[in-house]
Chain A
Amino acid sequence: MSDISSDKMNAYWGETSRLMWIVMLMWVVFSFGVHAFAIQLNNIVILGFPLGFYMAAQGSLIAFVVICFWNAKAQNAIDEKYGVAED
């Protein structure tokens, strides 16, 4: 493919990979990290919800939804920056 130079492709993929690792890090935090401290968090109670329970039942889920939309937006910005977005 000649519509994009290999330097530019490498830079594009570098930035895309960086975004991927950031998202993976957030994924690890909300899938595992937070819940490892569930017992301690459960000592904090808000509106009847112990925080550890709440994070697994709602908090992390909200984070996942936000991360997915944010990722779409951030990746789109990268695509446009490098001129590889679809027409």
Chain B
Amino acid sequence: MKEGTSFIDNLGRIYGIYTGTFIGFVILLAILEQLGVPNKVIGYLFVFLTIGVYALIGWLSRTAQISEYYVAGRRVPAFFNGMATGADWMSAASFISMAGGLYLQGYDGLAYVLGWTGGYVLVATLLAPYLRKFGQFTVPDFLGVRYGGNVARFAGVIVLFSASFTYVVAQVFGVGIITSRFLGISFELSVFVGLLGILVCSMLGGMRAVTWTQVAQYIILIIAYLTPVVWLSTKKYGIPIPELTYGQALQQIAEIEPKLGILKGHMAAFADAKGQFSWDRFANFFALIFCLMIGTASLPHILMRYFTTPNVRDARISVGWSIFFIFLLYFTAPAYAAFAKLEVYTNVIGKPIAGLPEWVKNWQAVGGLLTIKDANNDGILQLSELIINQDIIVLSTPEIAGLPYVVSGLVAAGGLAAALSTADGLLLAIANALSHDVYYKMIDPKASTIRRLTVSRVLLVGVAIVAAATAGTRPAGIIQMVAWAFSLAAGGLFAPLVLGIWWKRTTNTGAVVGMLSGFAVTLFYLVMTRYYPAEFEAMFGTKLWFGILNISAATFGLPVAFVVTWALSLVTEAPSKEMQEFVDSIRRPKGAVAWSKDAVHE
């Protein structure tokens, strides 16, 4: 990864060779497995060799330049930035939990599939090109310059920190699940093994290292995600396109469901447990889509990826590539859910417990993820006697399909790549906000380059350790923590970012108060309904506002942010002419940014 244009020019070739080598490596392991190398060794090889590759890229990408460290030198081509964003985006929640959510919830789970893709339309039109033109280092940078300095900057850092930290805890948690399953070590220890993997990628090279490892991680995660399900589709239906063939699985599921006494069908939309239409489900489905999409367009670790393209035009195309690479995984996830469900309905339920398939027994051994309780002591497994955790659907599909263990190892490596890449991006976003926005911009603007980078690295390690310690306490499920992060970001950041670009009249006071009130309402709803439900009910006479669950808390925070910003902006003095010229200059791709004179920038 030694400097310069030759690397950038040869990206296609380099990653082509890398992909070929990886596939060769998987085939080699498959051969070793056939020769009798034990599963445990295969698992170890997968985990440590892939982490080793990321570490190598991280080491080769080490840098002592500020713009390389924060924005990868702004030379990342649109296509590769799309891949890196894909890895940055798809986390343990997408890779491990989403298909499981679809398994358990059927149609209603598709809110995640929609919510985690459609937000890119907002990123593409409302934000990415303008933030690229603005061309500084972080999202709080924009807030600070547009809204008159450190108060707005610091408010932005608070929101960024809360959302990203919640999110990163969920990732480390995912890393813990995978490593403990495939290395056979305790969850608490696994979390710290994963942590090392995260730190070697990002510590020395910042954004540059994270970018090039994320591209490598995307390639591994997409191969890993598609392989078992393509195999399964070929085996079951003779066509290697699962996205096409799972329609048949859906039909088979629909036929079996009534026989098992299931009232709420897999494909029934907005149905309650009895299979009847429910307004509650309807409202929550759309509220969740809304919050996840707005959250997508507000999460700093995603937005900052578009700071790294060479120009505005590339930033726009890059969003297209991002959603394309994300789409490849997302439109496959429902196939996983359908195949797994069909397998459970046909080969697990109604079978003697003593003779269950091997994969069921393997997962019973990992604490609490799959439990079987023979409630009526008849030796036969009934539907209600099986509890499957949603986090194991993807990880167990290779075993379900009866594939060699090497595929399980591959999937584990993919899940690890997904969790590590997202954790990297998040940790970097947090560390950059603390080192660049808080330390450099607010505490010591005269700090030398070396000092700034040192502070950033120390903070990176510090935040990572705190995140791992938090994850070790198993605070909540992955998907839930991630959805909270989206709501927090959406409630706080979306209004000031979008209005800052699209409405010149937005004033400093309006934006700062709007941002903090949107964030506060979201946080209040989330914390109260989750941890103090009795107090919440005493206060408002209802358990939930309009029945909206707290994973969609931004449903309330976001409108508050917009209304407060709008109202206060109208009653405060309009932004200066200079500020309006600044907004004009980031609206058009050509020309320099018109910095107003009190804006500090580099």
Which residues in A have some Cβ–Cβ distance to B below 8 Å? 1, 3-4, 9, 12-13, 16-17, 19-20, 23-24, 26-27, 30-32, 35-36, 38-39, 42, 46-50, 52-53, 56-58, 60-62, 64-65, 67-69, 71-72, 75-76, 79, 83-87
Contacts and interface: CB of A to CB of B under 8 A. Distances in A.
Given A65-B323, A72-B317, A75-B316, A52 B269 contact: yes
Contacts of A58: 243, 331, 334
A68 B118 contact: no
Contact of A86 (B248, B286, B313): B313
B277 interface: yes
B50 interface: no
Given A27-B118, A49-B247, A61-B330, A1 B110 contact: no
Given A35-B285, A57-B110, A58-B243, A67 B250 contact: no
B588 A12 contact: yes
B524 interface: no
Given A1-B594, A3-B590, A65 B324 contact: yes
Contact of B114 (A26, A31, A85): A31
Contacts of A86: 311-313, 589-590
B115 to A, nearest CB: 8
Interface residues of B, number: 55
- Counting chain A CB atoms within 10 Å of each CB, which of B110, B285, B293, B324 scores highest? B110
Interface in B577-596: 581, 584-585, 587-592, 594
Interface stretch (B121-129, B405-413, B536-544, B560-568): B121-129
A57 B320 contact: no
A20 B125 contact: yes
Interface in B90-114: 107, 110, 113-114
A74 to B, nearest CB: 10
Contacts of B246: 48
B152 to A, nearest CB: 24
A61 B218 CA distance: 19
Task: With a 10 A CB-CB cut-off, give which of A16, A50, A83 has the most chain B CB atoms.
Answer: A50
Given A1-B594, A72-B319, A76-B313, A13 B587 contact: yes
Contacts of A35: 114, 269, 285-286, 289
14 contacts: A16-B587, A32-B289, A42-B269, A47-B248, A48-B247, A50-B267, A53-B107, A58-B243, A58-B331, A65-B323, A72-B124, A72-B320, A79-B588, A85-B590
